Amino acid sequence: MPNKVVITGLGCVSGLGMNVPDFWDALREGRSAITPLVDIDEGVKIRLGATVKGFQPERHFTPNELPLLDRFSQFAVMAAREAVNDAGLENSGDCLAEAAAIVGTGCGGKQTDEETYTQLYKEARSRAHPMTIPKGMPSAAASMISMHLGIKGPVFSVASACASAAHAVCQGRMMVLSGLTDIVLVGGTDAPFTYGLLKAWEALRVVSNDTCRPFSRDRTGMVLGEGAGMVVMESLEHAARRGARIYAELSGYGLSSDAGHITRPDVGGISCAIERAIQDAGFMPESVNYINAHGTGTVMNDLSETKALRQVFGNHADKLAVTSTKSMHGHALGASSAFELIATVLAIHDSTVPPTANFTAPGEGCDLDYVPNKARKLEIDVALSNSFAFGGLNAVLALQAWHG
C-alpha cells in the first residue's frame, strides 16, 4: 500500500483572481478582495464581500453546458481544470478515468434555488425548470467535474459547512493510502451571494460591514467570499513514476467534533483536532513552523483558536507564524479550507508566509505572531491548515516540505 500522499496540482477561482498565480500574488502582496457588493437588493444589510470580479461564464462554458451549471459548479469545474493541467494530467485520459473526485460544499446550488423560488413565489409561475434538481443538488459540482474531466472512479460530495473542503481532502488521503486510487481531485466550492442566503447570514449577526481583520482588537466579524479551490493528490509512487512536480506532502490530518454548541467554538475540540493531526503525521509539535488559521475575524473564533494553539504548543506557540488568509479571500464557506490549503502549500513551496491583512492591533487574548499586513520569507518545513465549522466539526491538515 502507498505510504505517502503528495500534492501535484492546484486550481483556484476566488475573489483574488480566476487562477492560482493571481491568487498567490495577491496573498503575498497582502491585497484583499473584499469590496462593496454590487447589484444587491436594497433590503440586504450586508454590503461587503469577496466576489469573483469580471466572471463571464460564457467565456468558459458552451451554451449547451451552461443550463446545467449552477455558479458553484462553474467555479468547481474551472478550478478542477486548472488543477489537472497544473499536475500535467490534462492529456492523461487513462489516469483520470481511474481517478477519484471529492468536492466539499457548504451550500450547494443556492443560485439555482434562489432563481426557482423567485419564479415560483414572486413571479407566480406554476412550474419549475425541468433541470432544477440536477443543477442545484449539493453533489452537482462533483458530478460536473466528473463529466467535464472524464473521471470515472469514486466521485461524491461532502458537506460540513466551512470545513467541507478539508474533510474532502482527508477522505481523499484515506482513499489513496488504502490503494483504492492513485489520483484524487479534492477541494471545495460555494457561491453564497444570493438574497436568501445573505439575509440568513445577516440574521446571525457575525458578518462585518467594515472589513475582515482577524485577531485584531477592533475586528467586527467575518466577510463572505465565493469561489472554488481544487487540489490533485497522488500516491508518491504514482507521482514519481510519471515524473510529476511535487509541491508538498500531505502528511496527516486530525478530525474532531465539539459535541457542544452549534456555533460557539470549543477550545478542547479544536485542540484535539490539532493534536491528532500532529500525531497522525508523526511530527513533533516543535517542528511546526506555520499555521494557516481558521481565523474568521469573529471575537469567539479568534480567541478560541489562539487559546487552542497555546494549549497544544506551549512555549513553542511564540515561535509560530500564524496567519488568516480569510482577511483577503473572505470566508468562502465550503471553499475556504481549499483556499487555505492551497495558500499553505504555496507558502511551503515558495518559503513565504502570507500575511494577516487589515491587521491593526492585537485583540484581547490574541497574543501570537499573526504576521501583520506584510508577507514574510520563511523556510517552512512543517505547517498546519486549520478549519473549524459550525456544528463543531473540526479538521486540521498537516503538511511538510518535499525535499525529493
- Tell me the CB-side half-sphere exposure of residue 57, using CA atoms within 13 A: 17
Choosing from 148, 329, 331, 349, the catalytic residue is 331
Average pLDDT on 342-365 reads 98
Q: Which of these, 323, 332, 266, 265, lies nearest to 104 by C-alpha position?
A: 332
Cell numbers placing 262: 452549534
| pLDDT at res. 383 | 98
Show the domains of the chain with their CATH numbers. Answer: 5-241 (3.40.47.10), 252-401 (3.40.47.10)
Burial classification of residue 69, based on how many CB atoms lie within 10 Å of its CB (0-12 exposed, 13-18 middle, 19 or more buried):
buried
Q: pLDDT (tens digit, 9 = 90+) per residue, 144-178?
A: 999 999 999 999 999 999 999 999 999 999 999 99
Nearest-angstrom CA–CA distance, 10 and 92? 17
Q: pLDDT (tens digit, 9 = 90+) per residue, 206-232?
A: 999 999 999 999 999 999 999 999 999
Q: pLDDT (tens digit, 9 = 90+) per residue, 264-320?
A: 999 999 999 999 999 999 999 999 999 999 999 999 999 999 999 999 999 999 999
**Helix residue spans in 54-131 (DSSP H):** 71-86, 93-97, 110-117
Give 198's pLDDT tier (boundaries 50, 70, 90): very high
- 107 among known catalytic residues: no
- 162 among known catalytic residues: yes
Q: pLDDT (tens digit, 9 = 90+) per residue, 31-83?
A: 999 999 998 888 999 999 999 999 999 999 999 999 999 999 999 999 999 99
Q: Give the count of beta carbons closer than 10 Å to the beta carbon of residue 41.
A: 10
Q: Report whether 12 contacts 165 (CB < 8 A).
A: no
Nearest-angstrom CA–CA distance, 226 and 55? 12
Nearest-angstrom CA–CA distance, 403 and 312? 27
- 294 among known catalytic residues: yes
Choosing from 95, 170, 272, 294, the catalytic residue is 294
Nearest-angstrom CA–CA distance, 216 and 32? 16
Give 1's pLDDT tier (boundaries 50, 70, 90): low
Mean pLDDT of the chain: 97
Q: Give the count of beta carbons closer than 10 Å to the beta carbon of residue 349.
A: 18
Q: Is pLDDT above 80 for 92?
A: no
Average pLDDT on 27-31 reads 98
| pLDDT at res. 3 | 85
Q: What are phi and psi of 343, to 5 degrees?
A: -60, -40
Q: pLDDT (tens digit, 9 = 90+) per residue, 99-119?
A: 999 999 999 999 999 999 999
Choosing from 162, 170, 212, 272, the catalytic residue is 162
pTM (2 decimals)?
0.97
Nearest-angstrom CA–CA distance, 301 and 263? 10
Average pLDDT on 371-390 reads 98
Place of cell 479544536: 270
In this structure, the strands spanning 321-323 and 290-292 are parallel
